[in-house]
């Protein structure tokens, strides 16, 4: 048998309130680390600036020279707008004119354009037109809300 089995457990020390770390972190080491980190970031930034200058010089050397005979070339359509919003304002004026005035769409067929407010009033007054064309092939007798044994209009 061992000796440790015969010794009583140590007495707990009396508590004098919450404990704390007796040694704090050294401010000197934290300052040195912060300065080293700032120096490393600055060094990396300087290296990146130098590297991008090298890349830009290499790209300029590889770009082909433009022929003096080419002159000033205009890029193909669609090009960027020189005055932003000017085209949009003209488009909106044209659309507003189309939506608020009367006009012909097709004189030969008698199709006209109505102001949107007048078209809404006419639609509310007359209701939606009935659809034209043959009935759908999947319609069965009685599918329109009437019972299947109700007499049909086309029956003799």
Q: What is the pLDDT of residues 66-80, one digit of tens each?
A: 777 777 888 888 888
Q: Is 147 helix (H, G, I), strand (E, B) or coil?
A: coil
Residue-wise pLDDT for 10-34, tens only, equals: 776 666 667 666 677 788 899 999 9
CA dist., res. 52 & res. 106, Å (int): 63
pLDDT score recorded for residue 146 = 53
- Which H or E run contains 55? helix 27-62
In the predicted model, is pLDDT for residue 101 greater than 90? yes
In the predicted model, is pLDDT for residue 4 greater than 70? no
Comparing 49 with 10, which gets the higher pLDDT?
Answer: 49
Give 115: exposed, middle or buried? Use CB within 10 Å, 0-12, 13-18, 19+. Answer: middle
CA dist., res. 98 & res. 113, Å (int): 8
Comparing 66 with 62, which gets the higher pLDDT?
Answer: 62
Within 13 Å, how many C-alpha atoms sit on residue 34's CB side? 6
Comparing 26 with 146, which gets the higher pLDDT?
Answer: 26
């Amino acid at each position: 048998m061992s000796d440790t089995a015969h010794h009583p457990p140590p007495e707990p020390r009396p508590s004098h309130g919450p404990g704390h770390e007796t040694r704090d972190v050294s401010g000197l080491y934290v300052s040195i680390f912060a300065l080293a980190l700032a120096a490393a970031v600055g060094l990396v930034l300087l290296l990146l600036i130098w590297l991008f200058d090298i890349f830009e010089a290499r790209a300029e050397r590889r770009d082909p020279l433009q022929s003096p005979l080419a002159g000033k070339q205009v890029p193909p359509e669609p090009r960027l707008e020189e005055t932003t919003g000017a085209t949009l304002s003209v488009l909106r004026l044209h659309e507003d004119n189309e939506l608020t005035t009367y006009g012909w769409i097709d004189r030969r067929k008698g199709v006209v354009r109505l102001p949107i407010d007048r078209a809404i009033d006419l639609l509310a007054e007359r209701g939606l037109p009935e659809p034209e064309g043959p009935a759908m092939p999947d319609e069965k007798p009685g599918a329109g809300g009437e019972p299947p044994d109700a007499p049909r209009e086309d029956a003799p």
